[in-house]
Amino acid sequence: MTRKEKVNFIVQTLEQLYPNPPIPLAHKDAYTLLIAVLLSAQCTDARVNLVTPHLFALADTPAAMSKIEVAKIKAIIRPCGLSPKKSQAISDLSKIIMEKHHGEVPQTFEELEALPGVGHKTASVVMSQAFGVPAFPVDTHIHRLAYRWNLSSGKNVAETERDLKRIFSEKLWNKLHLQMIYYGREYCTARSHNLSECIICAQVGRKKEKL
């Protein structure tokens, strides 16, 4: 199978399985998405979705959140892990959004990544899912799949992101990264990976896996 045939096979398979992949994190706007993605670091989306309703009942705008004591934020988000760091980041970024961005979540990678607790992956999710800007956020699922499918030998998510952006058309990025996440969770799991049930790995996967 040529590289082009492999890419077409992957895209067509994912499109058949997940024609309209929903955003995994519950949110109502760019700000609540930003907070949800920040909370998802080293935490499952399912757990974040259990916690954010309680947090957003307390405050769901930068203006409201900037007035909440960090201790109160910390108490609510504790189930997500890393609560001391995440609660301080939520408080600080909310104040910065109010002071420097007129209460609106900034719409550039540079401005987003300058916010406390916001790395490139978080910024990429917000840019793609909230603002529709082409981006390819790479999480552990996508990093694993890219290696298994012989699309990248990147040692980290930054290298894998670079490779995937080079391989796939930019117009596919925003949808494709969601499709890959769902596929990784359902068919191509990190553990107990069943090759006979993994449609894509059976066709294009590596013979030996080191990850």
Question: Which residues are catalytic, by number?
Answer: 121, 139
- Helix, strand, coil shares, percent, the chain, to 5: 60, 0, 40
How many whole angstroms separate alpha carbon 139 and alpha carbon 181? 8
What CA–CA distance (Å, rounded) separates 11 from 27? 27
Amino acid sitting at position 26: A
Residue 162: how many CB atoms within 10 A of its CB?
14
What type of residue sits at position 70? V
At 68, which amino acid appears? Answer: I
Counting runs of H as helices and runs of E as strands, what totals does the chain give?
12, 0
